[in-house]
A and B are shown apart, each in its own frame.
Chain A
Amino acid sequence: MSARLNQSAAQILSSYDGPPLRIMEVCGTHTHEIFRLGIRKLLPPQVDLISGPGCPVCVTPVGFIDEAIWLAEHGVTITTFGDLVRVPGTSKSLAGARAEGGKVQVVYSPLDALTYAKEHQDEQVAFLSVGFETTVPAACLVADQALQEGVENFSLLTANKTMPNAYAALRDSADVFLYPGHVHAITGTALCEDLAAQGVSGVLAGFTAKELVTALAVAVKKSQEGEPFFVNAYPRVVRAEGMPAAVELIGKVMEPVDAEWRGLGVIPQSGLQLREAYARIDARKKFGMPRIEGKPNPACRCGEVLQGHCKPSGCPLFGKVCTPQHPVGACMVSGEGACSAYYQYGGDLL
């Protein structure tokens, strides 16, 4: 049964003979898995899979890394997801700051960052809060806990992002969105339904080979029917209502703010910052941080890559001065970035 269905999904993809179709995956983990599994090779030439701005590390502006380094250089212990350690700031990365004596601790979870702070009362500890709606609840949990328990040596440096206005900003870049399964596990499917009503099609996708191939097959088949659509192809995880307790918690701890997306510029109300009640654990306020603006490399074409206007290999820096070992642009800095995945998994070579 399953084998027959797998084949049907692959066949739907390979036999597509409709007009050109642009599908944008809006999740870095999708980008990574699609490249790792070689799923693009199952698609016919007129189906273009665009890797959108769904990697929080990639869209985090240069200035944020500079802010973190400022903290490290002022004696604050940085706790962070491993993803951010090698990302270049204007003059160096956190790995560079660590080599110069800054303290940078890689953690699996914001919960571990708070635990570290409690166990190291003689250090000031800041957690680099990046990530989308999936990751924000964990940060909000510890923010709330730190405030309630009066943990004095813990703070958050936030650069969190939210997807709704990014979809709006990117709606002309794709015919179908492959929605990020784990973001909508938190936020639910109402937004996707609304977008379909406004003419924006999308499929919610999971992360295994089978889930991704199925979601793409749904995208291709439904597109041929002509009407805008939304299909939840990840019902195992995503419920229509999402996770109300998490959404409520986010609203309690954080508030929307205009946010800069590296490579794309400022998208209104697409970021989150700690509410005034949490000022005591807001690293920017707590340490009186100056306003820091990073300087990205002007030759980089990441913004166009993220919107599907340019293939990674179409950028003059790609694979020459910009590689995963020496990333220049947003899309190369993280293993989940479009250029990095393209480079590492042989987008051009194979």
Chain B
Amino acid sequence: MCVGLSAKVVRVQDGMAMVDASGARREVSVQLMDDVEPGDYVMVHAGIAIAKITDEDEHETDEVLEALLA
């Protein structure tokens, strides 16, 4: 379920944001998010942003592993 796509916010207007995923752009709803700004990364599903994220999936996963191995 729930194919997600991480994308960068390009602009925000009236609860909608233009997001960019390696050059593929589309308007998505950010109505349910607090403060989203251009430059933020969001996880997008079915046309809405479902989470504000960082762009560092490698790094954040490394931290999970470090904690596990500690």
Contacts and interface: CB of A to CB of B under 8 A. Distances in A.
Interface string A229-250: 0010101111100010110010
Contact of B48 (A1, A137, A207): A137
A9 B43 CA distance: 25
A131 interface: yes
Interface of A: 1-2, 5, 8-9, 12, 27-29, 54-56, 81, 108-112, 131-132, 134-135, 137-138, 141, 180-183, 185-186, 206-208, 210-211, 214, 217-218, 221-222, 231, 233, 235-239, 243, 245-246, 249, 336
Classify the secondary structure of A's interface with B. helix
Interface residues of B, number: 32
Interface of B: 1-4, 26, 28-29, 31-34, 43, 45-48, 50-51, 53-54, 56-58, 60-66, 68-69
A83 B66 CA distance: 38
15 contacts: A108-B46, A109-B47, A131-B1, A134-B2, A134-B50, A141-B48, A180-B2, A182-B50, A185-B50, A206-B61, A214-B61, A222-B68, A236-B56, A243-B51, A245-B34
Contacts of B48: 109, 111, 137-138, 141
- Most A CB contacts (10 A, CB to CB) among B3, B46, B64 go to B64
Contacts of A110: 46-47
A135 B45 contact: yes
